[in-house]
A and B are shown apart, each in its own frame.
Chain A
Amino acid sequence: MLQIKDLDASIGGTEILRGLSLDVSAGEVHAIMGPNGSGKSTLAQVIAGHSDYEVTSGTVTFKGEDLLELEPEERAREGIFLGFQYPVEIPGVNNAILLREAVNAKRRHQGLDDVDAFEFLKLAREKMAVLGMDPQFLNRGVNEGFSGGEKKRNEILQMAMLEPSLAILDETDSGLDIDALRAVAEGINALRSPDRAIILVTHYQRVLDYVEPDHVHVLSDGRIARSGDKTLALELEDKGYDWVREAASA
């Protein structure tokens, strides 16, 4: 589904990704771990198409298409969803309106009619119930005044409504208490399916107890220093990131 080859990317002239390669197939869950500053978030932003990041070399293809040629909204409509580490607050933009606009933008892209307003609300309320969200959230500004946990749940709600084929969740687990973490993990698991892939960007192993990954990669200095199955995450928890860095430089 997603092929990244020898990707170099920088922000403001500082090189962050240095020759990163990654293959993600439908049905898989990949966990990307690594210390702060290793380039995890940069990778997420580059895939989503943030203009502050400059891709200096390498390729990214998504479902066989050159992803780097697409605008952020085109990527989204093709099925890429980024769950932000720090979701922005947009006062005045009603959550329900954003959700509906987003769902319809994708439907139009697929040649479908706009969603029926009633059906849409019903669906949104169902999904919110699963995530343990108060339906009143729909009438508030996007992330406006939300707690950290509420913001992350809101990201998962959007993901659930948009049904992406590739979801990249950037530290969606950070700053959550155990109940919120469970709810978020359930939301992620509910989305797992043979035609969908998920990339979990995370600093800690904790979330992987709830969402079991097929592959675990450790990022160091802008490239993947080590890959393995879920046991790699446990090993990391045990030995720390220095272990990977030492191994990589050895």
Chain B
Amino acid sequence: MNSTALSFDALERAVAALPDNGLSALRRAALEQLRRDGLPGAREEDWKYTELSSLIEIANNWLDQGAALPAPSMRAAPDAIDATWIRIANGQIDDDSITGLPDGISVKRLSDTVPELAPAGRLGDFNIALLHDGLHISIGQDVTLQRPLGIHVCDEAGDDSVSQVRINIDVAPGSVASFVEYQVSEGEADLYSNSVINLAVADGARADYVRIQNRHKRHNQTSHLTVGLGKDARLRHTSFDLGGRLVRNDLVVDIAQPGAEADFGGLYLVGDGQHIDNHTRVDHRVGPAVSNQEYRGILDGKARGVWNGKAIVHEGADGTDAQQSNHNLLLSRNAEIDAKPELEIYADDVKCSHGTTVGQLDEAALFYLRTRGLSRRDARRMLTRAFAQATIGRTPVEQLHDFLAGAVDSRLRELMHEGDQ
């Protein structure tokens, strides 16, 4: 259990005060479930390195003060990303942004449907209990989206606040779609944002998914992305964690049909006072199928990074090829990385491997660059940037590369400047 417990009385009041819509019954059920299970605590294996009590404190404060969600002030999504943007601010959906969408995309509010919300752990129950409303996005059959569909999650913390985002996305058979999830926040108060997104990629469909998190340095995020892959379906995913204080991202990939391919990974840049945790789990329930993940981290200052990758090959999933890798650059004495690559294998015709490294920049490369006239500092920056480039380079939505390069550069400059102090 957590040293800090969620205040259920206040939570119950907040749940009761939410607008009565198609979600009410689900909210009450989630609340009851949560009352039984509680939120994850540090004694649990999956939460060994990430302590949620500071988030629970924020939630309790916010609940005690009436659990108000300030009216959203809708901010424009970044121009530099050419996408069709759906906007969610302070957990509330911008109606304008979900009308007049291109052909092939249909969007409904979850409260207008009879939603089926897949379980997403106890934070998923917390999400449902406090959910204003969510979205169901469908990409029609055999549609190829020309522009990525952007999901702009923006929070503004005038006062301490907690917001929930919930989206179900279906990509119908034979379609090709790309998505950009862009999470940012502003404001000097404390904030905890909790998002749950389910992406179902049907037979023969392909989804490209890029998650960019660049929150304010005092704001917190937990995110949960579940991807289900149909027969011969394909996922290509990368994530970028640049900002935030305490950030925990879970990515769950479920391969229940043969021929699926999942390629995922991410980059985390962690500086002073940040704690960034990426947990992944891929379930190979049948074979043949391929999963390949690569995460990279750069840590400087008093930074803490966590990476936990789990590949489970279930009984009978013959022909599975599951690869994991994780590479970390530790640039400061105060930084810590906790890495845990796990394989659980219950089938024998498999090819599985993982590799993890923690280290520094290659001394031979540093020397080489210095013999070409670069200062040690510039050489370090260049090599650090190159380390990060590997993730940018494998990002599926190519028109994002320039934007990502710029965002990574500017965060790296800050990071290494903090480190130089």
Contacts and interface: CB of A to CB of B under 8 A. Distances in A.
Given A50-B367, A88-B368, A141-B386, A73 B362 contact: no
A87 B386 contact: no
Contacts of A71: 370, 376
Contact of A109 (B365, B373, B376, B385): B373
B189 interface: no
Interface string B372-415: 11111011001101111110010000000000000000000000
A72 B390 contact: no
B91 to A, nearest CB: 38
A90 B376 CA distance: 15
A92 B385 contact: yes
B370 A102 contact: no
Nearest to A158: B372
Interface in A63-95: 71-73, 75-77, 80-82, 84, 87-88, 90-93
Main SS of the interface on chain B? helix
A102 B372 contact: yes
Contact of A101 (B378, B386, B387): B378
A207 B245 CA distance: 60
Nearest to B368: A88
A46 B387 CA distance: 29
In the A-B complex, the 5 residue pairs with the smallest Cβ-Cβ separation, listed nearest first, are A92-B386, A72-B370, A76-B373, A105-B373, A92-B389
A106 interface: yes
Contacts of B368: 84, 87-88, 90, 142
Contacts of A50: 367
Contact of A73 (B364, B376, B382): B376
Contact of B390 (A48, A73, A91): A91
A11 interface: no
A49 B385 CA distance: 25
Interface of A: 48-51, 71-73, 75-77, 80-82, 84, 87-88, 90-93, 97-98, 101-102, 105-106, 109, 141-142, 158, 162
Contacts of B386: 90-93, 141
A109 B375 CA distance: 11
Contact of A98 (B364, B372, B375, B387): B372
A90 B383 CA distance: 8
Given A72-B367, A88-B365, A92-B389, A162 B372 contact: yes
A99 to B, nearest CB: 8
Given A76-B370, A92-B387, A92-B390, A105 B375 contact: yes
Most buried by B among A77, A87, A88, A158: A88
A250 to B, nearest CB: 38
Given A71-B370, A88-B364, A93-B365, 6 more contacts: A71-B376, A72-B370, A73-B373, A98-B369, A102-B372, A102-B374
Contacts of B372: 73, 76, 98, 101-102, 105, 158, 162
B371 interface: yes
Nearest to A103: B373
A169 B373 CA distance: 17
Given A93-B382, A98-B382, A141-B386, A106 B367 contact: no
Contacts of B369: 90, 93, 98
B321 to A, nearest CB: 23
A72 B364 CA distance: 12
Contacts of B375: 73, 105
Nearest to A84: B368
6 contacts: A71-B370, A72-B371, A90-B369, A92-B387, A98-B369, A101-B374
A69 B386 CA distance: 30
A93 B381 CA distance: 11
Contacts of B376: 71, 73
Contacts of B379: 73
Interface string B187-225: 000000000000000000000000000000000000000
Contacts of A93: 365, 369, 382-383, 385-386
A91 B387 CA distance: 8
Contact of B374 (A48, A49, A105): A105
Contacts of A84: 368, 371
Most buried by A among B367, B372, B374, B382: B372
A167 B368 CA distance: 15
A82 B369 CA distance: 11
A90 B387 contact: no
A102 B387 CA distance: 19
Given A88-B362, A88-B364, A92-B390, A76 B383 contact: no
Nearest to A73: B370
Contacts of B373: 73, 76-77, 101-102, 105-106, 109, 162
Contacts of B385: 92-93
B371 A101 contact: no
Nearest to A101: B374
Nearest to B387: A92
Contacts of A105: 372-375, 378
Contact of A90 (B365, B370, B378, B393): B365
Nearest to B393: A92
Given A73-B373, A77-B373, A162-B372, A101 B382 contact: yes
